[in-house]
Amino acid sequence: MISFIVSLVALVLGYIVYGAIVERVMRPDGRQTPAVRLADGVDFVALPTWKVFMIQFLNIAGTGPIFGAIMGMWFGPAAYLWIVLGCIFAGAVHDFMSGMLSLRHDGANLPTLIGKYLGNGTRNVMLVFTVLLLLMVGAVFVYSPALILKDMWGGDAATIGWIIAIFVYYVIATLLPIDKIIGRVYPLFAIALLVMAAGLLVGLFVKMPHLPELWNMGDLAQWTGTQVIDGKDTLGVSAYLQKNPLFPCLFITIACGAISGFHATQSPLMARCLKSEHLARPVFYGAMITEGLVALIWATVSSYFFYYGGWKEVVSAEEVNNFMAQVQLADGKTLIQYFSAPQVVKLVCSGWLGIFGGTLAVLGVVAAPITSGDTAFRSARLIIAEWLHFGQKTMVRRLMISVPLFVASLLLLIWQMENPDGFNVLWQYFGWSNQALSVFTLWMITVYLARNRKPYIITLIPAIFMTVVCTTFLIASPQALGRPDFTSVTIIVVAVVALAWFILWHRKHCTADKLQRD
């Protein structure tokens, strides 16, 4: 528990100290925000600050800080380091800066900002890339909450019904003005998600379980020792890490709890609803730190669940016997394979928080992906509309862009359901695409800071790091080339090339800018 407590304190201090440093770089002032200056009653609508925070938090949360943290803890306590350091120095900076740039550019969407600072060619590529990512978000975040809901109400036969209901909601929320549904419903769901996290946090301090600590994170034998049955590694960590090396797979698995490119598509939505630039730090930086806290709690809970037999507290005797039988008869089926992330959420919430608390918690977990899905469609609509210079004030104009998006997402959803491993495949593509988008966002912000003679080091280091992560994943991951033996070489080469490119660019462009100003 010591590593967990230190990590909690570090995240809070990160907001107070480093958040203030990053805020000074942008120097928020009293200029009119897009919500006031460009108010249209549909997408540019000034909302109360607490609502903007709750909507931003729920938009960026999704299942990422929960499912990602559960799967990320398979890599051990190293997940703590990535959640804390990634959130403070990369993710929160990424979200705050992209939100501030949108505020300073009339609520511009991410591809427009990328085009302004990285060129129109990059903008066109990122336009297609971003819309595809948002369609994947919509498809993934229809299916995962439907699976949880059918387990709560209706069973397998109800899956299609839940998918249809969620998709109908997506259509309505995407088309209506932002204050009609999103502004009213999101804060309630965000509160449910935060209550769930708070309840689990209290449960951790009441139980004070023995957990893996940072100083013994290399000792796999200690973690798996309590899970060996008849000489078999029932946890399956060793086998999993052989196929999925910690670097870079941990940094792809835990995205939303540390840094996520998807967030940069959501920040402009709230940049169009903020009343003052001075609110950007609590809304953008603060929402990311809050998400990091949720990810940290779920990582710790799942650590206890998997490594020290916590699953035995919340699983019925019949299910335990069933699992033991599978371990002994089904060619060594592992605990990781048996308990999926959604299953862990359902078992922990109902087992630790009781019927009412468990229902509230699971609803919060269900609402998070659903609300990220509908704002993904809304972002896609606005990005395309901005590219086409096609106003969105009337319903007809919104439908003209939204209908093709919904059709494309339905086709993706059908493919996902017809393929046995469709969800996992789509999630892997989403995970890498998500982090690749953060790479472009970080480089865009770095170019902006350099051109304006601001301390660009705060995004240059995360930009190089995430460039290395995404490139190495393509080389090392079994889902890509599957050559982990080239990891070290890839890290060095990509880091050197990225840094050299930036130095050459900086000498050419920023020196020219300085001479022009002088």
**pLDDT tens-place string over residues 324-338:** 565 554 445 566 666
Query: For residue 132, is pLDDT > 90?
Result: no
For 257, the domain range is: 2-425
Distance CA 156, CA 34 (A): 46
Q: What is the pLDDT of residue 221?
A: 47
pTM of the complete model = 0.85
User: Of 143-152, 202-211, 287-296, which range is least confident?
Assistant: 143-152
- pLDDT confidence tier of residue 13, bands split at 50, 70 and 90: very high
| Residue 327 covered by a domain | yes
| Residue 500 covered by a domain | no
Distance CA 155, CA 416 (A): 19
We report the CATH number of the domain holding residue 108 as 1.20.1740
**For 439-457, how does the pLDDT look when each residue is reduced to its tens digit (9 = 90+)?**
999 999 999 999 999 999 9
Burial of 514 (0-12, 13-18, 19+ CB in 10 A): exposed
Q: How many domains does the chain have?
A: 1
| Residue 257 covered by a domain | yes
Q: What is the pLDDT of residue 466?
A: 95
| Residue 458 covered by a domain | no
| Residue 335 covered by a domain | yes
| Residue 469 covered by a domain | no
| Residue 492 covered by a domain | no
Round the average pLDDT of the chain to a whole number and report it: 82
Q: Can you read off the two tokens belonging to residue 358?
A: 């468990």
- pLDDT confidence tier of residue 427, bands split at 50, 70 and 90: low
Of the spans 36-40, 186-190, 341-345, 482-486, which averages the highest pLDDT?
36-40
| Residue 503 covered by a domain | no
User: Of 18-22, 372-376, 426-430, which range is least confident?
Assistant: 426-430
Q: What is the pLDDT of residue 236?
A: 63
User: Which has the higher per-residue pLDDT, 66 or 416?
Assistant: 66
Integer angstrom CA distances of residue 220 from 76, 303, 306, 333: 8, 13, 13, 19
Q: Confirm if 112 and 386 have CB atoms less than 8 A apart.
A: yes
**For 88-105, how does the pLDDT look when each residue is reduced to its tens digit (9 = 90+)?**
999 999 999 999 999 999
User: Which has the higher per-residue pLDDT, 10 or 380?
Assistant: 10
Q: What is the pLDDT of residue 458?
A: 96
Q: What is the pLDDT of residue 196?
A: 82
